[in-house]
Structure 1
Amino acid sequence: MYKIGNARSAALIVAIFSIIVMPALAEEAGVVNSGDTAWVLVSAALVMLMTPAVGLFYGGMVRKKNVLAIIMQSFIILAIISIQWVLFGYSLAFGHDTGRGLIGGLEWLGLNGVGAAPNPDYAATIPASVFMIFQAMFAIITPALITGSFADRMKFSTMMVFSVLWATLVYDPVAHWVWGVGGWIRTLGALDFAGGTVVHITAGISAFAAAIIIGKRLGYGSEDMAPHNVPMTIIGGVLLWFGWFGFNAGSALAANGLAANAFIVTNTAAAAAALTWTFVSWTHGGKPNAVGIVTGGVAGLVAITPGSGFVGVVPAIIIGIGAGIFCYFAMHLRSKRTSIDDSLDVMACHGVGGIWGALATGIFASVAINTAGADGLIYGNPGLVVKQMIAIVAVLAYSFVMTAIILKVLDATMGLRVKDEHEVEGLDVSQHGEKAYL
């Protein structure tokens, strides 16, 4: 009996050790965890789906003569940036800092040294290659977001070159600032869990610069430019909501409680924003517009992105409500009070939503949610709001100026706009020789 009891005790100790102690030791040692790896790979696939979803979301909102063109822009960006990222983009964003926290080096050129072993600087329990491909999907979707600002009028060839230059000169440096080891915004202590500044503020303000420099669509303000296929936009919005769970919850880089929190607050903020937009548009505009309601949900997803790994459910509701209000009125003011033709209101949705989300992270962040973060204003740390504001202003200024420079150079060399007769004919036929509908 004594021996049997000892055997049972030993078996129990071994079981406890294997369940609790071994995973902790493995994580500390940088050993690959299959569950974490599987989750991040699935999340990468979810985020990949978001780029064609952007094409559908935008495609329904343009006129039918331009629907293939804008969907194709998202698709070709998926191909272009996939190559740019593995060749040098990943190294610029996440490589060893070259000094002053501005840009990474080129030691991972062509993914040299990026393989099955984890990189403990970024994710200790998944292969470095998995972290790389997850981050690739963020780099891909960001320039695709910008295409909504110059819908119906930009040359396809110029758009392709612009996407590579923008990813290299805007996205990669800002990603390094915010997420790269040694990046100056990361060192400052500003927080961005899944891309509020890196993705949405850069895309939003760059879209605003593009709309100003490229100019208005022919007939803007005098012709009917209403969405041609609202169900397509709704489908795109639903796919974005679905993919955003990978975007935010996948940014935990592990299948754990932090991922669960990010998943829950993402859904909650999107719901709160969609409901808020519904009631605001109902009151202000007279009817609850379907495109607006879906856009409200996307605005909520944008706003919760930077704080999804730092805030709880109640702050997520507040963030969603704020997104529904701020983004709605930003869109309304742009169309009613300015002559800027940001065709699909990328700045109002992504720029304003990203700014609000970054500020809200400074207000509501809590170490009770994520010990790797910081407490925000309501938990006695107003300094985090200041850091968030510094990050916001720096990213806004850099992205706007650099985007303007890129566009001016391209305008002088390749030309930005299609010919007037091609714009009237529609980009589907003039740029691609196809029609979406017979």
Structure 2
Amino acid sequence: MAFEGLSEKLNAVFKRLKGRGVLTEADVKEAMREVKMALLEADVSYKVVKDFIGKVTERAVGTDVLASLTPAQQVIKIVNEELIALMGNENARINYPSKPPCIIMMVGLQGSGKTTHAAKLAKYFKDQGKRPLLAACDVYRPAAINQLQVVGEKAGVKVFEMGQINPVTIAKEAVKHAADHGNEVVILDTAGRLHIDEQLMDELKSIKEETNPHEIMLVVDAMTGQDAVNVAKAFDDALGITGVLMSKLDSDTRGGAALSVLAVTGKPIKFVGTGEKLDDFEQFHPQRMASRILGMGDMLTLIERAQSTIDEDEAQRLANKLKEEKGFDMNDLLEQMKQIKKMGPIKQIVGMLPGVGDKLKDVDIDDRQLLRIEAMITSMTPAERAKPSIINPNRKKRIAAGSGNTVADVNRLLRQFEEMQKMMKQLGVMGKNGKGKKNRLRMPGMFR
């Protein structure tokens, strides 16, 4: 995930500050020099870093901070507040018109993920109960229309296309079609280029003039670092963008572009892409991102992901089963694992827990382990899944061979499953009794 390197360095600086107890002005300035280097190494714009460090230092060397009982915590609080201000104090929202449709013009360079993220944005609106329409306005790139149709179908969103004709005409007709057919949002997937050129900008300006979009959303690749900021500046100067959608923020990138865009362009990041799946897409929350960067976790995003992916009927079925003491079996484990996989990569999920991110930097959490466990469970017979205690050595050999694992792997799964069974039994008793008695429950290590 982006910012891992920055988070690690900032946490090391703050740990040293906390260890000193009483702080002097020299201590704070030395820490700010280290923070400055960490931000520059994360590819944050030099001017942005200089202004940021100036504001933090000015606030942090004040008498109130240095004389407080917890000066290190006060300094961290100031850094957090200034990080939030750097990315935008409030969540940037979509500019909805009083009369639909809301017209969103997607722009960006080739390779930024524009077409895929147009579909992700459409699915985001669909999940909110709206009827979006995708419009194929890229008539130059080979198979661009087909790509939009494929991702549109996956998102369950209709795609408007008119073939290889003038993109301006397509955009105008798409808006008319949306108005006539009750689509509240129309997303124009415009053509990209390998670099910014006059021909590209002239075409985009024409589409803007003819459709009067409520949003001009620039898609930039977080992996391109400061180039992403330069692209944002160029598009904003030419078109007047309203916001940025940053793709590939899940990659092993330094992430500095996310901290520079608003300061350089004055335009906020509105959404971020966090993976390859259509659901790997989030509204950008400056407060939550600052919390992640400082290793404080992001419980709100984790809760939202859980709410959007977990099947409430399945959760209720399992709860009822535990209360009735019918027992937790391999079918239940398989279903729970499928729910977890929908939430995203395990390391990303666990990293959102407060205080956990820094501890995970040297831990290798392999998502393929989930696939191996799933393969072992699906290699079991219905009777074995319902009652794993019947799995004898011969059955273990068959399950191992059928799933491409070893007998040792099967034994490990069965041991861990027994631990989970005991825990679930305790939860069932607690739910049945309805008592508030404290129980110490240990989550078994499924990823050891």
Is the strand fraction higher in 1 or 2?
A: 2
Structure number with higher helix proportion = 1
Interval of TM-score (by shorter of Structure 1 and Structure 2): under 0.3
> Which is higher, the Rg of structure 1 or of structure 2?
2
TM-score (normalised: structure 1)? 0.20
- Calculate the TM-score normalised by the size of structure 2: 0.20
